[in-house]
Amino acid sequence: MVADVQEIKKWELVEVERSASEARRKESEDLRIKQDIIERYQNPPADTFYSLEYAYHLLGDVRGKTVLDYGCGLGDNSVLVAAHGAKVIGVDISPELIELAEKRLEQHEMADLADFRVGSAHELPLEDESVDVVFGMAILHHLDLKLASDEVFRVLKKGGRAIFLEPVRNSKLIKFVRNLIPYTQPDVSPFERPLTDAELKEFSARFTNYKSRAFSLPFVNLIEVLGMSENTFHKATKIDGKILQKSKFLNYYASVRVIEMTK
């Protein structure tokens, strides 16, 4: 169901204001991404237990391709995608974040590989069938899914792919328990919400070759909330991946999905 125009404008205004606050906190920082992080996402294996690594595995070889960084924010993924040899188009609704994304690519000497544009994810400033891949990391749960699906379909070339990483919460019990925990992440918009598998499948209804992989059972999220050590988090992530591989019925309770679909 599509939200009305006024409601969407309200969403977007809140996002612009929230993003401006985020940009102010980042504007004095060195925006360069460490080389070992760039290398981590260059060629990750198909069986990785890390959701973002898996998204980059799906991205694959995009040398000479045009990739839309959908909701590019500060340009973290724009750098990683450009490092794959793609021509990147980064779109975000926040002028302040776009300015920092441009600065980040300049710091990496990649400015000629990226074209940043201020615009709504619901009405992309791109021509029809102009990109080979749409790459969206944690963006759909901010959006009206019907409008977003239409725009992604419109700008993709025939045979083009769309890859998304999104928070998911299918279980009503887990939703209830999560609401009891007095913890919120910084920079959370009041309009964002975890999606469901059903919503993601409806989003992809016009596409073909839909596939989805689950990550992060609740205990992994709890480790993050409790601020336990990085080593503990990595061990838990590997355990999580093995559990989800062997017990497919638990995928329903996992909190992250990486999906891929083809136009």
What pLDDT, on a 0 to 100 scale, did the predictor assign at position 1? 47
pTM for this entry? 0.90
Quote the CA–CA distance of 202 and 146 in Å, as a whole number: 9
Which ranges of 64-163 does DSSP label H, i.e. alpha helix? Answer: 76-82, 95-107, 145-155
Check if the beta carbon of residue 127 is closer than 8 Å to that of residue 155.
yes
**What token pair was written down for 77?**
């993924």
Which class for 204: exposed (0-12), middle (13-18), buried (19 or more C-beta within 10 A)?
Answer: buried
Whether the predicted pLDDT of 149 surpasses 50: yes
Q: How far apart are CA 188 and CA 173, in angstroms?
A: 22
Residue 190 has pLDDT above 60, yes or no: no
**Stretch 39-59: mean pLDDT:** 97
Place of tokens 């544009």: 117
* Mean pLDDT for the stretch of residues 76-88: 97
Give pLDDT, residue 184.
Answer: 52
pLDDT band at 21 (very low <50, low <70, confident <90, very high): confident
Query: Is residue 179 pLDDT above 70, yes or no?
Result: no
- pLDDT at res. 171: 76
Give CA–CA dist 192/199, Å, rounded.
14
Q: Which two tokens stand for residue 91?
A: 């779109």
When pLDDT is averaged across residues 197-224 and rounded to a whole number, the result is: 92
Statement: residue 16 has pLDDT above 70: yes
Overall average pLDDT of the 153-178 stretch? 86
- From the number of C-beta atoms within 10 Å of its C-beta (0-12, 13-18, 19+), residue 219 rates as exposed
pLDDT of 28 above 80: no
Phi-psi region of 94 (alpha: psi -120 to 50; beta: other; left: phi over 0): beta
Q: Is residue 224 pLDDT above 90, yes or no?
A: no
Residue 40 scores a pLDDT above 70: yes
15 vs 68, residue with greater confidence: 68
Asked if residue 194 lies in contact with residue 168, where contact means CB atoms within 8 angstroms, the answer is yes
Amino acid at 143: L
Report the SS3 class of residue 109.
coil
pLDDT higher at 172 or 64: 64
Predicted pLDDT of residue 144: 93
- Pairing of β 208-215 and β 256-262: antiparallel
> For the CA atoms of 231, 236, 239, 243, what is the dihedral angle to 10 degrees?
-170
